[in-house]
Amino acid sequence: MESTPGMKESFWQYHHSFEHRLEAWKVEVLYTWEWWFGIVLSIIAWSLWLFFRKKESSDRLLLAGIFTGLISVTLDNIGYQLALWNYYKPVTPLIPAYLPYDFALMPVVVMFLIQFFYVRNPWLVGLLFGLLTAFIGEPFFKLLGIYHPVYWKNIYSIPFYTIIYYISFKLVMRRNFEKLK
């Protein structure tokens, strides 16, 4: 006997909703200038990092980038699921988050900030990052028609961006990494 009929029904509703989203994405998003913008933005961001990174610090910086990307995509998905915001022009319909932002722009900017401002107070750098991202980055993507806040205000983003930067900074600046044996 099945004890979770509501969960089973909600699973199938979610699946049918995804099928509808996939068909809409194929017709309304795929190969549009916004779709190409996301692809090119990702390529440019990572190319800049590959060219300008401090090569001897690549591993540590990548730790910060991977952490930033994973946290960003997780929080982005949570916000999307809670209908706090939406993306009408995602690069892929498989993940509701805007991947060029979460896996390219956010990690690369955080890695560059750590690389160039590691001697500065990480809370201040994080706060500046949060302010610029919330009040310039988010409105820019809204202006392009990619990001659509529903129940979200830019000011809510500041502590999230600040804390993401601060934790990334602390991960990178740890001195007690031991070799694997």
User: What pLDDT is stored for residue 126 in this prediction?
Assistant: 98
Mean pLDDT of 136-165: 97
pLDDT confidence bin for 3, thresholds 50/70/90: confident
Residue 100 pLDDT exceeds 90: yes
User: What pLDDT is stored for residue 180 in this prediction?
Assistant: 64
Q: How far apart are CA 66 and CA 79, in angstroms?
A: 20
CA 36 vs CA 25, 42, 97, 108, 166: distances in Å:
14, 10, 16, 19, 32
Residue 56 pLDDT exceeds 60: yes
Cβ proximity of 92 and 99 under 8 Å: yes
pLDDT confidence bin for 82, thresholds 50/70/90: very high
| 60: helix, strand or coil | helix
User: What pLDDT is stored for residue 96 in this prediction?
Assistant: 85
In the chain, where the domains are located: 1-30, 32-173
DSSP 130-168: HHHIIIIIHHHHHHTTSEEESS--HHHHHHHHHHHHHHH
Average pLDDT, the chain: 94
Q: How far apart are CA 18 and CA 10, in angstroms?
A: 12
Residue position matching structure tokens 């900017």: 109
